[in-house]
């Protein structure tokens, strides 16, 4: 049997299992989605978001990429983020990394991977920022584990530094941002970081949103020199 057919058979078995427990399972889950959580995880096949959190369909709005990165020019991630924050109005965004992450592990080498070098470069930048602390750890396994934890914390910061999140924090007091680490060796998730709405950020990344009605433009938020025209309130 072709290996892929196992998945289609698995689907049939899953449908039957769900219907046996509740004949209305699928009609009940076919309505509009209203998830409370956005999940940004690694593409690694060993870290299935719903499975490791016992979540049902409709509970997690999921975006996955190599090494669970939040890159401020990644329109795929940003589109999912904007949709989750503005349309779905999620209360929580979880960046979930995991130990033994191949993306992080390989970013710490000097190997040339071709195209993926460009993606791993963001992880190399995280290493450079924290090199002193990381290089002080002698044990290679512990150093890699710490790098994976730091990477998640940096991605949570990256989320907080988007205008999408900052605008929502200011207007609606949500979402809370979480950094989690999944331990493949035990199955447990560890809470690594949490940024609540209004958390203190590096000032250079703060937006003033003076284009919001009723907000006065401060001197430091005025564009300089040949700046582009004033953005509309809808711009990000
Ligand atoms: Zn990974």
Q: What is the pLDDT of residue 234?
A: 55
- Mean pLDDT along residues 111-134: 98
**Rounded distance between C-alpha atoms, residue 154 and residue 185, angstroms:** 23
pLDDT band of residue 129 (cuts 50, 70, 90) is very high
Give me the residue label for tokens 């939040």: 70
174 domain residue, yes or no: yes
- Measured distance CA(168)–CA(212) in Å, rounded: 12
| 62 falls within a domain | yes
Q: How far is the CA of 167 from the centre of ligand 1 (A)?
A: 30
Distance 41 CA to ligand 1 centre (A): 8
Q: How many Å lie between the centroid of ligand 1 and the Cα of residue 171? A: 34
Q: How far is the CA of 100 from the centre of ligand 1 (A)?
A: 7
User: Looking at residue 231, what is its pLDDT?
Assistant: 58
Mean pLDDT (whole number) for 102-119 = 97
Beta-sheet pairing, 92-98 with 37-42: parallel
Q: Residue 3: what pLDDT? A: 93
Average pLDDT of the chain to the nearest whole number: 93
Q: Which residue has the tokens 């009940």?
A: 28
Angle, helix 75-82 to helix 163-172, in steps of 10 degrees: 10
Structural domain contains residue 105: yes
Q: Which residues of 105-116 are buried (b: 16+ CB within 10 A; e: fewer)?
A: ebbbeeeeeeee
Classify residue 103: in a domain, yes or no. yes
Q: How confident is the model at residue 161 (pLDDT cuts 50, 70, 90)?
A: very high
* Best-predicted range by mean pLDDT (44-53, 207-216, 224-233): 44-53
Contact (Cβ atoms closer than 8 angstroms) between residue 61 and residue 35: yes
What is the span of the domain harbouring residue 110? 34-201
> Mind telling me the catalytic residues?
42, 44, 46, 98, 101
Between the alpha carbon of residue 115 and those of residues 67, 89, 120, 189, the distances in Å are 15, 35, 9, 31
**Taking the CB of residue 140, how many other CB atoms lie within 10 A of it?**
9
Q: Domain count of the chain?
A: 1
Q: Does residue 219 sit within a domain?
A: no
Ligand 1 center from residue 98 Cα (angstroms):
6
Ligand 1: distance of its center to the CA of 65 in Å?
8
Compute the distance from residue 50 Cα to the ligand 1 centre, in Å.
Answer: 16
> Higher-confidence residue: 225 or 149?
149
- Has residue 16 been placed in a domain? no
Q: What is the CATH number of the domain that holds 155?
A: 3.40.1050.10
Residue 156 lies in a domain: yes
Is 206 part of a structural domain of the chain? no
Per-residue pLDDT, 230: 57
C-beta of residue 97 within 8 angstroms of C-beta of residue 152: yes
pTM of the model: 0.90
Is the pLDDT score of 219 beyond 80?
Answer: no
Q: What's CA 211's distance to the chain center, in Å?
A: 27
- Non-local CB neighbours of 143 within 8 Å, separated by 6+ positions: 134, 135, 137
Residue 233 has pLDDT above 90, yes or no: no
184-192: long-range contacts, CB 8 A cutoff, minimum separation 24: 184/46, 184/47, 184/98, 184/99, 184/100, 185/99, 185/100, 187/52, 189/52, 189/53, 189/96, 192/97, 192/149, 192/152, 192/153
The least confident of 6-15, 28-37, 124-133, 221-230 is: 221-230
Q: How confident is the model at residue 232 (pLDDT cuts 50, 70, 90)?
A: low
């Amino acid at each position: 049997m072709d290996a892929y057919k196992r998945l289609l058979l698995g689907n049939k078995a899953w449908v039957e299992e769900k219907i046996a427990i509740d004949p209305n399972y699928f009609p009940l889950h076919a309505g509009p989605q209203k998830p409370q959580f956005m999940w940004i995880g690694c593409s690694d096949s060993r870290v299935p978001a719903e499975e490791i959190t016992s979540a049902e369909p409709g509970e997690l709005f999921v975006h996955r990429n190599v090494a669970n990165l939040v890159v401020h020019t990644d329109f795929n991630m940003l589109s999912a983020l904007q949709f989750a924050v503005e349309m779905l109005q999620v209360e929580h965004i979880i960046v979930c990394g995991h130990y033994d992450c191949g993306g992080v592990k390989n970013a710490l080498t000097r190997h040339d991977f071709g195209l993926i070098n460009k993606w791993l470069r963001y992880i190399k930048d995280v290493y450079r920022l924290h090199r002193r602390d990381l290089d002080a750890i002698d044990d290679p396994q512990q150093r890699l584990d710490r790098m994976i934890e730091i990477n998640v914390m940096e991605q949570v910061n990256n989320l907080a530094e988007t205008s999408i999140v900052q605008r929502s924090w200011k207007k609606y007091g949500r979402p809370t941002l979480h950094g989690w680490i999944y331990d493949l060796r035990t199955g447990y998730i560890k809470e690594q970081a949490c940024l609540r709405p209004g958390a203190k950020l590096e000032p250079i990344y703060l937006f003033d949103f003076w284009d919001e009605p009723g907000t006065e433009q401060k001197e430091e938020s005025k564009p300089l020199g040949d700046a582009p025209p004033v953005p509309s309130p809808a711009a990000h």
